[in-house]
Amino acid sequence: MLCQVYIVLKDDILFQRDYAKGLDASLFSSILPKIKQDTFSKFGGEMGEYDFYRYKLSFIVDKDYDLMIIFVSGLTDNFDRIKVELHNLKKEFIDSYRPALKKGLDILISEDIEPILDKIHMNLSPKISIIGYAGVGKTTITKLIKEEEIPMEHIPTINGNHAVVKLGKLYLSVWDFAGQEQFSFLWKKFIAESDAVLLITDSSFENMEKSRYFIDLINEVVPYSHSAVIGNKQDLPTSIDIESIERVMGLKAYPMIATDRENKVKMIRIIAELLEIDPDVSPLLRPLIEKEELILKVENALESNNIEQALSYYKKIHELCIEIGDNSLAAEYQEKTENLKNMIKQQMSIQCTKCGRFVARSKAKADTRRTNLVDSRMYGELKKAGTIIMGAQNKEYYCISCANHGHQISQRAKKERKSSN
């Protein structure tokens, strides 16, 4: 996966974008002179790659401008794919800043580069393979990540499913493999070049023991990938506790109930941890995490009839959707915000009995009258006979204008009114 992008002009880092954990500033600064020395030498080529520790540094240069663009990625990333994106970024950068480059002027990189980087990140998105035997919940977990309708019954996946999923501003290439053993000849091919592998088990002893085969497969095909176990179906009485699963499988394990939509945030955090992205800090995932948490909070606020609090959550969710770039969801929450505003307005206002106009409760004039439940002609006779006659109170509200015209309120004399001086 693409971890970092550097644009270096002469000896200065002109631009840096971090997508995941990569090289810290001091380490990158120590490697850069070595790469530049080899690249800008007489026999140095325009492009190259340099393996360092657990990272691949792929680069392209323009010797005329003393320009170097470097991608920091995983060791297993395909260099041919990276070369295409390096060429694209170099061309876009030089085309945009050619006048300043020719004159040797200072360059301030604008926001125009953001869409280009987003497209590069999408094309080099981390590959996440979701593996495990049939019926353990692989597709359900995939749908939980993708915010799709969660199936309530098992439908076997044939061959496999692949989708590019956008979580916040992070693009993921998610592969869900068929778990039936007749497709086992495809598993090695499917898992190749994975940045992260999630091994799903249904938390039963039999499935857990059987699934250890996949750990050998991971170590053989993608030994440098980030791997973890998801102990799904933890709500079942026969499920094994997550500590035992972790001990037996020898990998970090996470408990999960994939049919519960509230576990979406938990699933995002698991992926972020696997890819070494801090979800609370990263500009790629932080807005998404915050949005998902607010959606849960707004449901609780509405259930407790805390309308004002729900409105503030709706407004924040709308802002986060715009920040993420999810325009359809932003429009949905804009509509919800307006509907809730109208509801609050109606609760804080009352309709004038006479003209029908809505006015603020604090400005309305209440007129309470007692109404007899019997005919007025019989009232006197019944009263004389000692009959207890029940009455009813009728409360009406009037706007100031109607109350004034109907004499529910009287207008003060001019000399009694407040002076405007």
Tell me what pLDDT residue 94 has.
92
Tell me what pLDDT residue 7 has.
93
Domains defined for the chain, CATH in brackets: 2-123 (3.30.450.50), 127-274 (3.40.50.300), 286-347 (1.20.58), 358-416 (no CATH)
**pLDDT per position as a tens digit, 346-361:** 777 788 888 888 787 7
**pLDDT per position as a tens digit, 17-67:** 888 888 888 889 888 988 888 887 766 678 889 888 888 999 999 988 989
Transcribe 158-185 into DSSP letters.
PSEEEEEEEETTEEEEEEEE--SGGGGG
Is the CB of residue 167 less than 8 Å from the CB of residue 237? no
Q: What is the pTM of this model?
A: 0.68
Tell me what pLDDT residue 292 has.
83
Cα 408 to Cα 348, 396, 412, 415: the distances in Å are 22, 10, 13, 21
β partners of residue 47: 60
- Token look-up 């995939």 returns 142
Give the H or E element holding residue 199: strand 196-201
- Residue 135's region, left for phi above 0, alpha for psi from -120 to 50, else beta, is left
Tell me what pLDDT residue 123 has.
87
Tell me what pLDDT residue 148 has.
47
Token digits of residue 132: 């495990």
Tell me what pLDDT residue 158 has.
46
Low-confidence ranges of the chain (pLDDT < 70): 42-44, 147-160, 179, 181-182, 279-282, 372-377, 379-380, 382, 388-392, 407-421
Tell me what pLDDT residue 152 has.
40
Is the CB of residue 141 less than 8 Å from the CB of residue 231? no
Tell me what pLDDT residue 370 has.
72
**pLDDT per position as a tens digit, 377-416:** 676 676 777 776 666 677 888 888 888 887 666 666 666 6
